[in-house]
């Protein structure tokens, strides 16, 4: 009888211990899930705040560009995030995807300081419809122009070299003004 009681007591303790252990593992799993959810929520909040900050910075830059255009009395059209003024329409022949073209250009900052020039730095070569080494904003603008066209293009930093600059002559968060002639 004593053996039976000891056996039942051991079974009872074993069942009680295993139930308690299972319960603690569930608690631990729940805590981990809660912490992971908390991390995801913080990451989402950081991402949302970063996007809001980027939108504010972009809006301020666009306001600065519009003020610059107005003070310069330039007649520019905004297209795909860049500002374009056609100085000479050229021959009205549009570009086809895959077509290669070269640009003579002068690139300045809003301050008027020249940073690049095709006479000293070489021409820019663009293949329409593909990524090239030049800023995305310049590629977008050129693809909407014509052969032999001369134009003035303002490219916001978000479509140029971004917050980092180009690591050479273009400073951080620089708006660029291109005067181009397409060969």
Separation CA 85–CA 74 (nearest Å): 7
Tens-digit pLDDT profile for residues 31-55 = 666 777 778 888 888 888 888 878 8
Helices and strands, number each (H, E), in the chain: 3, 7
Q: Which residue, 158, 5, 19, is CA-closest to 80? A: 158
Rounded Cα distance between 4 and 42, Å, is: 56
- What pTM was estimated for this model as a whole? 0.74
pLDDT tens per residue, range 19-35? 554 555 565 566 666 77
């Amino acid at each position: 009888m004593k053996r039976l009681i000891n056996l039942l007591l051991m079974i009872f303790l074993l069942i009680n211990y295993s139930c308690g252990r299972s319960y603690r593992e569930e608690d631990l799993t729940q805590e981990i899930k809660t912490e992971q959810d908390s991390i995801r929520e913080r990451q989402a909040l950081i991402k949302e705040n970063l996007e809001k900050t980027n939108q504010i910075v972009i809006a301020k830059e666009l306001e600065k560009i519009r003020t610059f255009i107005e003070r310069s009395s330039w007649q520019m059209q905004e297209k795909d995030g860049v500002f374009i003024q056609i100085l000479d329409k050229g021959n009205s022949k549009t570009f086809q995807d895959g077509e290669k073209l070269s640009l003579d250009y002068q690139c300045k900052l809003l301050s008027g300081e020249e940073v690049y020039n095709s006479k000293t730095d070489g021409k820019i070569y663009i293949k329409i419809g593909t990524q090239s080494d030049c800023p995305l904003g310049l590629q977008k603008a050129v693809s909407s122009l014509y052969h032999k066209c001369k134009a003035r293009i303002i490219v916001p930093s978000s479509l140029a070299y971004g917050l980092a600059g180009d690591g050479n002559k273009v400073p951080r968060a620089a708006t660029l003004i291109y005067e181009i002639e397409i060969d």
